[in-house]
Copies of this chain bind each other. A is one copy, B any other.
Amino acid sequence: MNLKELSEHLGLSQTTVSRALNDYPEVSESTRQRVKQAAAKGNYRPNMRAMSLATGKAMTIGHVIPVESSSDVVNPIFAEFVAGASRTYSQRGYELMLTIAEAKNEESIYRGIVAKRAVDGVMLHSPKRDDPRLALLDEIGLPFVVHGRVCDSNQQYNWIDMDNQAAFQQATQLLLDLGHHRIALINGQETLSFAWLRRLGYLEALHASNITEDPELMTSADLTETYGYQTTQKMLSRKSPPTAILVSSYIAALGVRRAIGQAGYRIGKDISVITHDDELSYFDNGGAVPQFTSTRSSVREAGIRAAEMLLQQIDKPSLAAQTQMVETKLTLGSSTGPCPG
């Protein structure tokens, strides 16, 4: 069923039917009703491609998520973020186009989808400290929102982020207050902004207490369970092991927990752990006393808000760049305690 058929069936012109469906004022209320009913009855939906062609709007948002070809790791927070964003898009009649691509191909992918007129805007994932995609998208003139921030840039752009630095500064401070001095940081790839900022927060707290960081207690890699396990194992086997560990993801923290248990230590007693918790639906760190003390911030909520921000920018391109900080809570669980000895 297309517009032509529908209008012939109604004995109206395509113009009128189209206008009735799109709530234009210049059509009488009675015919509008009649048209809408007939459309609903015939399950008519405008052909998206034809509509896009006519209006110039793709009604689609692109999410291109980078994967390092070496590791092939797909960050689980993407799924959670996308779950949030998808809801917003659906409500507003937009579709979500997903591309999972090797990081090195990203530029050509962006240029491609924009030349194809496939999207009205894109969401930028996993920003790096100095991310070339910012300039690229600005050059192309495609609206975008960054999930996170780019540290080294003086461009104006839309972003939504948590306060990584403050969160990790606070978490480190908590551990310091508990008497810990040897605090390890098991961090994500520090070429990425979020990890870099967390590192800064961590260092900020240490330095404020006149503690010099120990490079051997600071690591940076893809936040897998195995990574958390292996680095913790290594750190614990050194002559002066850490008494507390700060971990950048829940999944890595599970590996940390494994290593601690296996080494015969008790978590929260012998060794304290604080993790960041993105509130992934598969890992609810809940209960009366959560197992992990954590800095937590809902990635799904970020997805919802980021999508709204992007749609606003698309609706009103004249709008100034927006920024939004998402709330982060430091929640006490059973994985922290005073420094023993």
Residues on A close to B: CB < 8 A?
A: 1, 43-50, 52-53, 58, 60, 63, 67, 71-76, 78-80, 82-83, 86-87, 90, 95-101, 111-112, 115-118, 223-226, 251, 254, 257-258, 261, 280-284, 286, 291
Contacts and interface: CB of A to CB of B under 8 A. Distances in A.
A58 B67 contact: no
Contacts of A224: 281-284
B100 A283 contact: no
A226 B86 contact: no
20 contacts: A46-B116, A49-B50, A49-B52, A49-B53, A53-B53, A60-B97, A71-B281, A73-B281, A73-B282, A74-B79, A74-B80, A74-B282, A76-B76, A83-B100, A86-B98, A86-B100, A95-B99, A225-B282, A225-B284, A226-B286
A336 to B, nearest CB: 17
A48 B100 contact: no
Contacts of A284: 224-226
A45 B254 contact: no
Nearest to A75: B282
A254 B1 CA distance: 51
A82 B226 CA distance: 23
B43 A111 contact: yes
A82 B251 CA distance: 20
Residue among A73, A95, A111, A284 with max Cβ neighbours from chain B (10 Å): A95
B115 A45 contact: yes
Contacts of A49: 49-50, 52-53, 58, 117
A46 B53 CA distance: 12
A261 to B, nearest CB: 5
A310 to B, nearest CB: 16
Q: Which 5 A-B pairs have the closest CB atoms?
A: A45-B115, A49-B52, A86-B100, A48-B116, A79-B79
Contacts of A71: 281
Contacts of A117: 47-49
A112 B45 contact: yes
A112 B90 CA distance: 11
Contacts of A98: 63, 82, 86, 96-98
Nearest to A224: B282
A257 B115 CA distance: 50
Given A47-B117, A50-B53, A225-B284, 19 more contacts: A43-B111, A45-B116, A47-B116, A49-B50, A63-B98, A73-B282, A76-B79, A82-B100, A83-B100, A86-B99, A90-B99, A96-B97, A96-B99, A224-B282, A224-B284, A226-B286, A251-B282, A254-B254, A257-B258
Contact of A43 (B75, B90, B115, B280): B115
B79 A90 contact: no
A90 to B, nearest CB: 7
A174 to B, nearest CB: 23
Contacts of A52: 49
Nearest to A286: B226
A13 B148 CA distance: 47
A225 B257 CA distance: 13
A214 to B, nearest CB: 27
Nearest to A46: B116
Contacts of A47: 53, 116-117
